[in-house]
Amino acid sequence: MSQADLNARIITATAAELGRAIAAGTWTSVQVTTAFLAQIDAVDDRVNAFVSVDREGALAAARRVDERIAAGERLGPLAGVPIAVKDLLCYQELPTTAGSRMLENWTPPYNSTVVQRLLDAGLVILGKTNLDEFAMGSSTETSAFGASHNPWDLDRIPGGSGGGSSAALAAHEAPLAIGTDTGGSIRQPASVTGTVGVKPTYGGVSRYGIIAMASSLDQCGPCARTVEDAALLHEVIAGHDPMDATSIDQPVPAVAEASRAGDVRGMRIGVVRELGGEGYAPGVEQRFDEAVELLRAQGAEVVEVSCPHFDQSLSTYYLIMPAEMSSNLARYDAMRYGLRVGDDGQNSAEQVMRLSRGAGFGSEAKRRIIIGTYALSAGYYDAYYGSAQKMRTLITRDFDAAFAQCDVLVSPSTPTTAFKLGERIDDPLAMYKADLCTIPSNLAGNASASFPCGTAPEDGLPVGFQVMAPPMADDRLYRVGAALERALATRGTSTVIPQLPGSLAEPSQEA
Amino acid sequence: MALTEREVARLAELARIELTPEELRLFAPQLDVILDSVASVAQVATDDVPPTSHAMGLTNVFRDDVVRPGLTPQQALAMAPVSEDDRFRVPRILDEE
């Protein structure tokens, strides 16, 4: 096989296939890693998925895995498989910027639990992926290091905040990626790039060493191109961590098994009435309805459910999230790490703090800090933050009532397909609406995922199918996702992501 | 509720963020619209509803109090803006008044 053909085979393979090929000695991890690094070289100048690429570190890690396999060691199913990590997770070998000038060139002194688990499982970290500043946004346009571009159409957003991870997957620059989801930052990017993204139950994956945005909502999860790949990665990163007080001390749901079963016979699937209708693109609704029908044909029972307080979830979120993030971002005070400006020997610590925060934070961070400061200030606390916390209870009760009738709930993942870069950046409310369907699960803390369900007829862009499951029933997401993936493949609906010009997935004719 | 530029400036002061006059002009109407749109929450949530502050409601989470290796002074100071004699060096902390 020519080098070009080998590269094409590798970068279009699933992570599960790569893991098996590496374990069997068909391909080495070095070959696999080299192919993805070459694809990054070939396309990332246009996609801008990566903030940093660790060529030497990745190849050294790949060599170590190859040596262990050659010595007869039996490793996990993803050993030697490359992965891209959202630049919000601390990793000692690379700067961790959170997409902010505030942390430009900051290299953490320790690894996040998730990164450590990836390394322990033999995964090869290719680099860090772009995100909206401090994971605030739905487009990656608020990143201090420039927006990422959607490989389906480079003029469009790859979603956010985890647009670097979704774009890296869609551009075949990595077979797996790590995301974090506070209001939809794993699921909405997955939706608009035709990839798989899972937000585990809150507390299912450790937040230790992940830069905090809104601590009661933030959750880390797997991103991939197939349901099984996401499940395999889920099993690597999930599980109790004493370093995170919100980590759940229970066995990880059997997600890989569920992704292989993909059986929805007898499952009760609830379509949420409030997540559709006005404001939803026709092609999004059409593909969503078709996906529901496919699941019905697979033996699921479909019912309609009403969650009346979901209409308030966007408002609730935009009070709770800024309140928590304004508190979390208070730690960037220019004293012990991060950007410091104006330290001229005259300015006081407080003046330096104000100047540094003014220079280090971008517009969206400032907007949200001001909103959060307002919502938490004396005289407004009860009306805003207090009311939002009560609304959170009502939204959770809606979920409880729905899950009493259904095993899972479903909706579109986001109301539209990928919008154009620049289209919503000056209109925060329009931008926030991208998270309309994903926010309820963050507020209630349950498990939720987005799976590809074809492309919208009007623009040919991918549509995401959201599945929501009760807390610690993450396996149901994979059961439904895998059934949908198979039904779409059987029906011949293409979920294949188009290749960019110059992509190594399509070796030139003469090669 | 009309959030004025003056109010935004006051909030920025509380949040220790220096905002330029242009930022104040840009943010005041934007923040006003955002606050307006979220105000509906206050009308729906009534007094008899308990607040939720945390998704899973875990309380009193403990781990064993065991000695573990921590960061060395070099590691802790490696990313400091300025350090001196194994310490973080900070600007003067008292305002001249």
Per-residue pLDDT tens listing for chain B (97 residues): 568 999 999 999 999 999 999 999 999 998 888 888 888 887 877 778 999 987 777 888 888 899 999 999 999 999 999 999 999 999 998 876 5
- Please list every residue in chain A whose beta carbon sits closer than 8 Å to the beta carbon of residue B36: none
pLDDT at A429: 87
Provide the ipTM. 0.93
- Please list every residue in chain B whose beta carbon sits closer than 8 Å to the beta carbon of residue A316: 38, 41
CATH superfamily of B1-39: Glu-tRNAGln amidotransferase C subunit, N-terminal domain (1.10.20.60)
Is residue A327 flagged as an active site residue?
no
Nearest to A77 by CA among A11, A10, A18, A124: A18
What is the distance in angstroms between the Cα of A11 and the nearest Cα belonging to chain B?
36
Both ends of chain A: CA-CA distance in Å? 10
pLDDT at A508: 60
Write the residue in A337, A347, A429 that is nearest to B34 by C-beta: A429
pLDDT at B96: 62
Is residue A139 flagged as an active site residue?
no
Write the residue in A348, A357, A358 that is nearest to B92 by C-beta: A348
Query: CA-CA distance, A469 to A460, in Å (whole number)?
Result: 29
Residue of A nearest to B94 (CA): A348
- Please list every residue in chain A whose beta carbon sits closer than 8 Å to the beta carbon of residue B41: 312, 315-316, 319, 384, 387-388, 391
pLDDT at A510: 43
Is residue A86 flagged as an active site residue?
yes
Non-local (6+) Cβ contacts of A55 within 8 A are A37
Query: CA-CA distance, A146 to A424, in Å (whole number)?
Result: 16
Query: CA-CA distance, A322 to A319, in Å (whole number)?
Result: 6
Nearest to B13 by CA among A417, A350, A451: A350
pLDDT at A511: 41
What is the distance in angstroms between the Cα of B80 and the nearest Cα belonging to chain A?
5
What is the distance in angstroms between the Cα of B32 and the nearest Cα belonging to chain A?
9
**With left for phi above 0 and alpha for psi between -120 and 50, is residue A166 left, alpha or beta?**
alpha
pLDDT at B97: 55
- Is there a contact between A357 and B18 if contact means CB atoms under 8 Å apart? yes
Query: CA-CA distance, A31 to A457, in Å (whole number)?
Result: 39
Residues of chain A with pLDDT under 70: 508-511
pLDDT at A98: 98
- In this structure, the number of other CB atoms found within 10 A of the CB of residue A144 comes to 20
Q: Is B24 on the interface with A (CB under 8 A)?
A: no
- Is there a contact between A392 and B88 if contact means CB atoms under 8 Å apart? no
- Is there a contact between A370 and B15 if contact means CB atoms under 8 Å apart? yes
pLDDT at A497: 84
Q: Token pair 């349950």 is at which residue?
A: A446
Q: Into which CATH architecture does domain A3-310+393-491 fall?
A: Alpha-Beta Complex (3.90)
Of chain B residues 28-87, which have a CB less than 8 A from chain A?
30-31, 33-35, 37-42, 44-46, 49-56, 58, 61, 63, 71, 75-76, 78-82
Catalytic residue (one of A52, A139, A161, A503): A161
**Dihedral angle sign, alpha carbons of residues B77, B78, B80, B82:** positive
pLDDT at B38: 82
A390, A393, A474, best to mutate vs chain B, most B CBs in 10 Å = A390
Q: Where are the domains of chain A?
A: 3-310+393-491
Size of interface A-B (CB pairs under 8 A): 179
Q: Where are the domains of chain B?
A: 1-39
pLDDT at B35: 84
C-beta of residue A95 within 8 angstroms of C-beta of residue A107: yes
Q: Is B17 on the interface with A (CB under 8 A)?
A: yes
Helical ranges in A329-405 per DSSP H: 349-360, 363-376, 387-405
